[in-house]
Amino acid sequence: MTPHNLLRSVENRLKARWIADLTSTEPTDSWPHKFPTGLGSVPQDDLQTRWADTHQPAVHAWRDWAADHGLRVIDKPRRVWTTLDLPTHIEVESIDQAAQLAAGEWPNRLNRARQRLHILRERFPTSDTAAVIRVTDGYTDLDFDLLLTVADWYLEDPQRAASGITPRQVPLPGVHAKWLQTRTAGVQALTGLTDLALLQRHPARIHFTYLDPTYRATGARIHDSATVGDHFTPAYLPEVVVISENKDTAIHFPELPGGISVEGVGKGGKTPAAFPWLRHAPTLIYWGDIDPDGYEILDGYRHDFDRDIESILMDPAIYDTYERFGTNHDPKGSPLTPGEPKPTPRLRPDERAVYHRLLDPAHTGHRRIEQERIPLDAAREAVEQLRRATAR
């Protein structure tokens, strides 16, 4: 155990408990909490044989680190050559001390949540404050103020929750359609309404490109779309479908006999899975970015299609080959950081190996390789190899 590892334990406990700690009207048992340093569990023979070069420096390091951070040290007598008090635990006194240790956005996060909690208890005393704080954690102050306005509007006249209006028709300044569509959960948590009676958005669609060279030679349309719920049949039933996470790779995918490339629709595959001609294609392939999102999307597609979906160019060898073209920022420019892997039961071992590697705090390589960085000819060859392998 090192101070760095202990800080991770502090932040994990903070993540799991901070909302309950702030919103509970009764004291919780989260803090103070004693975090082990590891010195209490060192075997006796190891403690003595490695005392001078390993454990004694660790004792001094823990005491210095605790003093620098204003933390209480919990000692326990251990026998070395004589009986010594060793720092076996470090105590974190409160949620605020934990937030200071976790640093980053945590102190501001707690302050913001406390301010909002005060408002909620004054203006919406019957609301589920824990649910509201959880849902609005990422809201800006402007978004939170709009949420209060929308909640007041609904609660002023309960019949509005059965009016069947579109999000654009809510007559409140600043509340545009996308705002309300993406923050419905916040309004429901604050008002207690299970249904805001908003009219459904337009049916979901997919966009795709015909890849078959014989078909393309006829001069017919190359790019097409289909709407969920419509009776639709593509120009030909595909022998192979490649679902590509990014639009550019789908549109510009090289010609492929019997092939169709489909533009991905983000996480989850319910929309493309709604089309039988796509869902039952003899060969169904997913190709995504080599980043945590890419593997989580792949796992979600396999769940929503309820069938095995092949992947291409998402294995360890490909990562090693193209890692030098990677980045450590997400599409919005935010730094990519280590994290805890999510449950991904449908990933194959080689896919999961890369997924875990990208989230590992010890990983020193790039944490994201955009699929556009991999040549399209390599993607076509990977598809052809897969087709040859499955045809045997």
| DSSP labels, 147-193 | HHHHHHHHHH-GGGGGS---GGG---TT--HHHHHHSHHHHHHHH--
Determine what percent of the chain is predicted with pLDDT higher than 70: 95
- Are 262 and 332 found together in one domain? yes
Domain assignment present for residue 107? The answer is: no
Task: Specify the number of domains making up the chain.
Answer: 3
* Contacts for 214 with CB less than 8 Å, ≥ 6 apart: 257
Is 304 part of a structural domain of the chain?
yes
Report the pLDDT averaged over residues 199-215. Answer: 88
In a domain, 129, yes or no: yes
Band (200; pLDDT cuts 50, 70, 90): low
Is 249 contained in some domain?
A: yes
- Which pLDDT score, from 0 to 100, does residue 1 have? 80
Q: How confident is the model at residue 78 (pLDDT cuts 50, 70, 90)?
A: confident
106 vs 96: CA distance, rounded Å = 9
Give 261's pLDDT tier (boundaries 50, 70, 90).
Answer: very high
Express each pLDDT in 152-169 by its tens digit: 888 887 666 556 666 666
Cβ(228)–Cβ(205) under 8 Å?
A: yes
Cα–Cα dist 296/288, whole Å: 10
Question: One-letter amino acid identity for 158?
Answer: P
294 conformational bin, left if phi > 0, alpha if psi -120 to 50, beta if neither: alpha
pLDDT confidence band for 242 (50 / 70 / 90): very high
Would you state the pLDDT for residue 333? 83
What integer best gives the mean pLDDT of the chain? 91
pLDDT for the residue numbered 52 = 84
Q: Does 286 lie in the same domain as 162?
A: no
Confidence of residue 270 (pLDDT cuts 50, 70, 90): very high
Same domain, yes or no, for 183 and 211? no
Query: According to the per-residue pLDDT averaged within each range, which of 135-139, 176-180, 331-335 is highest?
Result: 135-139
Highest mean pLDDT among 122-136, 186-200, 329-343: 122-136
What distances in angstroms separate CA 15 from CA 107, 189, 262, one per listed residue? 13, 20, 38
129 plus 95 within the same structural domain: no
Same domain, 81 and 175: no
Both 48 and 96 in one domain: the answer is yes
Mean local confidence (pLDDT), 171-183: 78
pLDDT at 196 over 80: no
Question: Which region among 48-62, 105-119, 198-212 has the lowest average model confidence (pLDDT)?
Answer: 198-212
Question: What does the pLDDT average to over 126-145?
Answer: 93
Kindly state whether residues 263 and 149 are assigned to the same domain. no
240-244 and 283-287 strand pairing: parallel
Phi-psi region of 279 (alpha: psi -120 to 50; beta: other; left: phi over 0): alpha
Confirm whether pTM is higher than 0.85: no
* Residue range 18-29, pLDDT digits in tens: 999 999 989 899
User: Is residue 97 located within the same domain as residue 246?
Assistant: no
The first and second tokens of residue 297, run together, are: 């999307």
Nearest partner of 330 among 364, 362, 289, judged by Cα? 289
DSSP string, 42-88: S-HHHHHHTIIIIIHHHHHHHHHHHHHTT-EEEEEEEESSSEEEEEE
What is the structure's pLDDT at 306?
92
pLDDT (average), residues 352-380: 96
pLDDT at residue 389 in the model: 83
Pick the last residue of a domain from 51, 71, 102. 102
55 and 183 both lie in a single domain: no
Quick check: is 179 in a domain? yes
The pairing of beta strand 259-263 with beta strand 205-210 = antiparallel
Instruction: Decide if 17 is inside a domain.
Output: yes
In a domain, 196, yes or no: no
| Residues 237, 308 share a domain | yes
- pLDDT of 204 reads 87
Question: Residue 387 domain-assigned?
Answer: yes
Q: Which pLDDT tens digit goes with each residue over 292-335?
A: 999 999 999 999 999 989 999 999 999 999 999 999 998 888 88
Q: Which residues constitute the domain of residue 47?
A: 3-102
> Is the domain of 313 the same as that of 369?
yes
- Based on the domain organization, do 77 and 138 belong to the same domain? no
- What's the pLDDT band for 199 if we cut at 50, 70, 90? low
Average pLDDT, stretch 99-120? 95
Residue 41: pLDDT band with limits 50, 70, 90: confident
The pLDDT of residue 69 is above 70: yes
Residue 266 confidence (pLDDT) = 80
